[in-house]
């Protein structure tokens, strides 16, 4: 008899990895009966024809945001003291003191953090969060669904969504095994593990070591190294368009060589538009010297600001805007969801660009999968003033310590060097690809094409 697995989407971030890749087809080929347990407003049944069970109750305990924030900050405090490292406080977002309600929430959170910034305190906060979520109508709703459908296992597509807590507690209280996928390469050191499941799937040995280091209550046999489906489409040659076809579809000049500027969210790089402007100036200067270059600007899918508009308009002869093919299906930032068509676009942007430039983005790995270099901007902009975050702190984060050397990317540490670095890469005199492939292996794992299969094998082993 086929084992029934619920693939659980607490939010839309997992769609890209687990709905739009071959993950489902591989699981079915291996003999699993797959239902998508869907907490998002995106219908997989209507859009993809998948078997799904919708979660219609989205209630959470009103104190959950406060306790979750306190849990995260307490964990970061413990990491700071445990590892004697001042990087951890830089992961914290500032408290909100605008309006009486926010003042009360912030003061309550600070009081909780003061009481619980220890291993034992964190355990108490987690237990309290679980108690709060067990008292919600959503917990009972999810429990009823599970009793009706009786899955053999729940696979949760991200470990960082508070919307998943009550559903996973309902499963655990019914004795159903739960597995969480650790979603992103920077999530573990940033205290973004919201859920406690029976097992975890992680990208690499590096991430497994981090999970065991930061969460001593998790045992080694609970963690499976599987890789991530995130990069699998880059090895799917059926997505590849020839240069002429791709350039015609997106109205690009087939005679130009294009550099990709991959935009960042406003939190990570608040002055990102000025790095695009710097690249445009470098390209214009090189074009005046006989090059024929353009820029493909691909924005961050959840950036709704107009901050790039002025730069794009002033350089429209150079910059081609290729927005990610994501759909706005609600009013919140996490209601902007990827589409399968975006895989094809991203594949071909990587394939037909000369290289990528950005501020500390994981697109370095998308491009190295196509043997393309990457420039990371690492200099301050003159527009930097008090209250604006300096991008330099990004490179001090723990996940960048996984770099085998500073040659894993081409760092631009001075605006005046940008034109020369661009020219050297274009002329084949400078590249980070070989060193970056070593970094890619460390972060993404040794089998980037086998992640979906590895996850199903882990699920199979758990069910045995």
Pairing of strands 336-338, 199-202: unpaired
Q: Answer yes or no: is pLDDT of 235 > 80.
A: yes
Rounded Cα distance between 175 and 455, Å, is 21
How far, in Å, CA of 131 to CA of 125, rounded?
A: 10
So what's the pLDDT on residue 158?
Answer: 96
CA distance 21 to 236: 10
Q: What is the mean pLDDT of residues 21-41?
A: 96
Give the pLDDT confidence score for residue 334 in this predicted structure: 59
353 and 309 within one domain: yes
C-alpha closest to that of 257 among 446, 13, 382, 426: 426
Query: Is the domain of 283 the same as that of 334?
Result: yes
Q: Residue 407: what pLDDT?
A: 96
Span 262-303, pLDDT tens digits: 999 998 999 999 999 999 999 999 999 999 999 999 999 888
Same-domain pairing of 171 and 309 = no
The pLDDT value recorded for residue 333 is 57
pLDDT, position 390: 86
Same domain membership, residue 280 and residue 337:
yes
CB of 373 within 8 A of CB of 367?
Answer: yes
State both tokens at 153. 């296992």
Rounded to the nearest 10 degrees, the angle between the axes of helix 64-83 and helix 119-134 is 160
298 and 399, same domain (yes or no):
yes
234 in the Ramachandran plot: left (φ > 0), alpha (ψ -120 to 50) or beta?
Answer: alpha
CATH code: domain of residue 40? 3.40.50.2000
pLDDT digits (tens, 9 = 90+) for 164-194: 999 999 999 999 999 999 999 999 999 999 9
- Contacts of 377-383 with CB under 8 Å at 24 or more apart are 377/275, 377/278, 377/412, 378/411, 378/412, 378/413, 379/412, 379/413, 379/414, 379/415, 381/271, 381/274, 381/275, 383/271, 383/274
pLDDT tens digits for 394-426? 999 999 999 999 999 999 999 999 999 999 999
Burial 368-397, CB ≥16 within 10 A → b, else e: bbbebbbbbbbbebeeeeeeeeebeebbeb
- What residues make up the domain containing 92? 64-131
Instruction: Tell me the per-residue pLDDT of 435-457, one tens digit each, with 9 for 90 and over.
Output: 999 999 999 999 999 999 999 99
* pLDDT tens per residue, range 74-115: 999 999 999 999 999 999 999 999 999 999 999 999 999 999
Cα(138)–Cα(146) distance, rounded to whole angstroms? Answer: 12
Would you state the pLDDT for residue 383? 87
**How do residues 52-69 score in pLDDT, each as one tens digit?**
999 999 999 999 999 999
Can you read off the two tokens belonging to residue 314?
């002033």
Q: List the strands of the sheet with 52-54, edge to edge.
A: 52-54, 32-38, 3-9, 153-156, 178-181, 199-202, 223-225
164 and 201 in one domain? yes
pLDDT, tens only, 337-389: 778 899 999 999 999 999 999 999 999 999 999 999 999 999 999 888 877 87
Element spanning 305, H or E: none
Other Cβ atoms closer than 10 A to 184: 18
Local confidence band at 331 (pLDDT 50, 70, 90 cut-offs): low
Taking a C-beta distance cutoff of 8 angstroms, is the pair 397, 87 a contact? yes
Q: Any idea what DSSP says for residue 402?
A: G
Backbone φ, ψ for residue 44 (5° rounding): -75, -25
One domain, residues 95 and 120: yes
Same domain for 86 and 190?
Answer: no
What is the pLDDT, as a whole number, of residue 247?
98
* Domain count of the fold of the chain: 3
Grade residue 335 by pLDDT with cuts at 50, 70 and 90. Answer: low
CA–CA dist 297, 300 (Å, integer): 10
417 versus 14: the higher-pLDDT residue is: 417
3-state class of 436 per DSSP?
helix
255 band by pLDDT with thresholds 50, 70 and 90: very high
Q: Which residues of 303-339 are buried (b: 16+ CB within 10 A; e: fewer)?
A: beeeebeebbeebeebbbebebebbeeeeeeebbbbb
Judge if 27 and 56 occupy the same domain: yes
User: Final residue of a domain: which of 80, 109, 131?
Assistant: 131
Same domain, 223 and 248: no
Please name the residue ranges forming H helices in 30-118. 44-48, 64-83, 100-116
Q: How far is CA 314 from the centre of its chain?
A: 31
- Do 239 and 333 fall into the same domain? yes
The last residue of a domain, from among 85, 116, 131:
131
Is 273 found in the same domain as 330? yes
Mind listing the pLDDT tens digit for each residue in 144-168? 999 999 999 999 999 999 999 999 9
Buried b (16+ CB within 10 A) or exposed e, 424-461: ebbeeebbbbebbbebbbbbbbeebebbbbbbbebbbe
pLDDT at 351 (0 to 100): 98
């Amino acid at each position: 008899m086929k084992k029934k697995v619920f693939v659980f989407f607490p939010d839309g971030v997992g769609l890209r990895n687990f709905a739009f890749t071959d993950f489902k087809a591989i699981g079915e080929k291996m003999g699993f009966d797959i239902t998508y347990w869907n907490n998002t407003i995106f219908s997989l049944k209507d859009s993809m024809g998948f078997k799904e069970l919708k979660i219609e109750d989205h209630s959470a305990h009103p104190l959950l945001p406060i306790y979750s924030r306190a849990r995260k900050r307490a964990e970061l405090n413990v990491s700071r003291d445990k590892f004697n490292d001042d990087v951890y406080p830089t992961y914290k977002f500032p408290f909100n003191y605008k309006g009486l309600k926010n003042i009360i929430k912030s003061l309550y959170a600070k009081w909780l953090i003061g009481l619980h910034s220890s291993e034992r305190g964190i355990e108490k906060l987690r237990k309290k969060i679980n108690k709060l979520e067990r008292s919600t109508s959503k917990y009972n709703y999810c429990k009823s669904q599970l009793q009706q459908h009786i899955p053999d296992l729940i696979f949760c597509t991200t470990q960082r969504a508070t919307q998943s807590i009550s559903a996973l507690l309902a499963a655990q209280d019914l004795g159903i095994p739960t597995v969480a996928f650790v979603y992103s390469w920077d999530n573990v050191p940033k205290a973004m593990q919201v859920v406690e499941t029976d097992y975890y799937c992680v990208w690499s040995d590096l991430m497994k070591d981090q999970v065991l280091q930061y969460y001593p209550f998790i045992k080694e046999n609970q963690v499976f190294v599987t890789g991530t489906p995130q990069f699998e489409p880059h090895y799917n040659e059926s997505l590849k368009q020839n240069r002429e076809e791709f350039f015609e579809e997106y109205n690009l000049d087939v005679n130009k060589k294009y550099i990709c500027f991959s935009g960042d969210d406003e939190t990570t790089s608040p002055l990102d538009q000025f790095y695009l402007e710097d690249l445009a100036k470098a390209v214009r200067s090189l074009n005046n010297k006989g090059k024929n270059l353009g820029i493909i600007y691909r924005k961050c899918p959840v950036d709704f600001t107009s901050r790039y508009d002025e730069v794009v308009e002033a350089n429209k002869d150079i910059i081609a805007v290729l927005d990610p093919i994501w759909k706005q299906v609600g009013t919140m930032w996490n209601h902007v969801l990827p589409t399968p068509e975006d895989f094809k676009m991203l594949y071909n942007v990587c394939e037909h660009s000369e290289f990528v430039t950005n501020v500390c983005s994981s697109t370095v790995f998308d491009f190295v999968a196509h043997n393309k270099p990457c420039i990371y901007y690492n200099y301050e902009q003159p527009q930097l003033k008090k209250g604006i975050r300096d991008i330099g702190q990004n490179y001090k984060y723990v996940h960048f310590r996984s770099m085998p050397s500073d040659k894993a990317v081409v760092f631009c540490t001075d605006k005046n060097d940008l034109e020369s670095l661009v020219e050297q890469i274009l002329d084949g005199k400078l590249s980070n690809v070989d060193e970056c492939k070593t970094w890619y292996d460390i972060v993404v794992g040794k089998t980037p094409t086998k992640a979906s299969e590895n996850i199903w094998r882990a699920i199979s082993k758990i069910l045995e």
